[in-house]
Amino acid sequence: MPLNGTTAPGFEPVRDAFAANFEHHDEIGAAVCVYLHGEKVVDLWGGVADPETGRPWTEDTLQVVFSTTKAITAACALHLADRGLLDLDAPVADYWPEFGKPEIPVRWLLTHQAGLAALDKPVTPAEAIAWEPVVAALEAQQPLWTPGTEPGYHAHTFGWLVGEVVRRASGRTLGTYLREEIAGPLGLDFWIGLPPSEHHRAARIVSPKIDLSVDPATLPEELRPYFDPASLTMRASMAVTPFLNHNDPMELAAEFPASNGAGSARGLAGFYAALLDGRILSPELLAEATTEQVGGVDKVLRVPVRVGLGFGLPNPDEFWYGPRAFGFPGYGGSLGFADPDRGLAFGYVMNHGQHAANDRRAADLVRAAYS
């Protein structure tokens, strides 16, 4: 598989790991980018962007990165807070009166503590595209656990909760705010709500196959919630029913700030490099946002988590761990993160989603970069 791009002297192991992903780990199309102390030291891409047509992955190919989007969404809210236009400790209802639930501050939206991870009545993809029906559903939804206590991953609703607060505080949709205040000024090729004029650059997602017909009773106890329709785990993942299809041009153009960010590895790594350089947030707010706000076993994911203000913080047993590392992985394998202690910013995007338990592609790239 021919690879394109460059690596700085000493970073050849990343190129080797990237090539191995195609040779041994079923990579179809992908890109990886690494910055070290603000300097781009890895910028690689290769493979096929669209297996249906054979369109190659090029330097400007964009990829939907699922939950890796959440960190960029959080940065928009934090950017407003840095400018004094959003108070993280004020009730959400101060900005969004129809929300009600005065006990929930903006901060708990970012830390997944609002108790609104699922909807009693799931919305349809068409309603999700329209935005307002989801806003109305969140206004009507009562918390599913006591807000401010345990974290529970808001897989889909995070995007609309934070996105609506940004819209109310700034007068702009989150995707517009991102483009006008962060991505545009910094030259980052990352979008939430991809304009139709850019759709030709989007790679086609090849999702992992999931057998939902499995009887939960036949599975190990820790896996049962992922196949039980009545569990909070499944209800959170099915807040939009049926499943979203981010290959759909209508969904690409819409704003799903929890999941449909589309960008290049260069744009993703550049975002984290800009955070480290102080070009997006003040050092003081970045330090707060990347300090653990809440931890423990997540009520939705059923695994131990460490949560910052919208940023995920890796556990010591995770391959991208660093004492001050922060970022966000995405369904299927994408990853963006920064390690301030090493001055490293990393972005990896790919179109072949794989099951997390068997996926070592990002891990091998990160280990190679650290080596």
Q: Check residue 212 and give its pLDDT.
A: 66
Residue 215: predicted pLDDT: 80
The dihedral formed by the CA atoms of 224, 226, 229 and 231, expressed in degrees to the nearest 10: 70
Query: 3-state class of 3 per DSSP?
Result: strand
Q: Which residues are catalytic?
A: 67
Strand ranges inside 51-159, DSSP E: 55-56, 63-64
Identity at 64, one-letter amino acid code:
V
Report cis status (omega within 30 of 0) of the bond before 249: no
Which pLDDT score, from 0 to 100, does residue 213 have? 73
Give dist(CA 49, CA 364) in Å, integer: 21
Which residue in this structure is represented by tokens 């690689």?
44
Question: What CA–CA distance (Å, rounded) separates 333 from 348?
Answer: 8
pLDDT of residue 85: 98
Burial status of residue 291 (CB atoms within 10 A of its CB: 0-12, 13-18, 19 or more): middle
Task: Find all residues with CB under 8 Å of 356, minimum gap 6, and list them.
Answer: 333
- Give the distance, in angstroms, between the CA of residue 19 and the centroid of all CA atoms in the same chain: 25
Degrees (nearest 5) of the Cα angle 313, 180, 138? Answer: 60
Q: Are 261 and 190 in contact (CB under 8 A)?
A: yes
Residue identified by tokens 């101060």 is 94
pTM of the entire structure?
A: 0.97
Residue 72 neighbours by CB under 8 Å, 6+ apart: 178, 182, 190, 192, 261, 271
Kindly give the pairing relationship between strand 294-297 and strand 304-307. antiparallel
Give residue 113's Cα distance to chain centre: 17
20: three-class secondary structure by DSSP: helix
Residue-level pLDDT, tens digit, the chain, 371 residues: 679 999 999 999 999 999 999 999 999 999 999 999 999 999 999 999 999 999 999 999 999 999 999 999 999 999 999 999 999 999 999 999 999 999 999 999 999 999 999 999 999 999 999 999 999 999 999 999 999 999 999 999 999 999 999 999 999 999 999 999 999 999 999 999 999 999 999 999 999 877 767 787 787 877 888 888 899 999 999 999 998 999 999 999 999 999 999 999 999 999 999 999 999 999 999 999 999 999 999 999 999 999 999 999 999 999 999 999 999 999 999 999 999 999 999 999 999 999 988 899 999 999 999 99
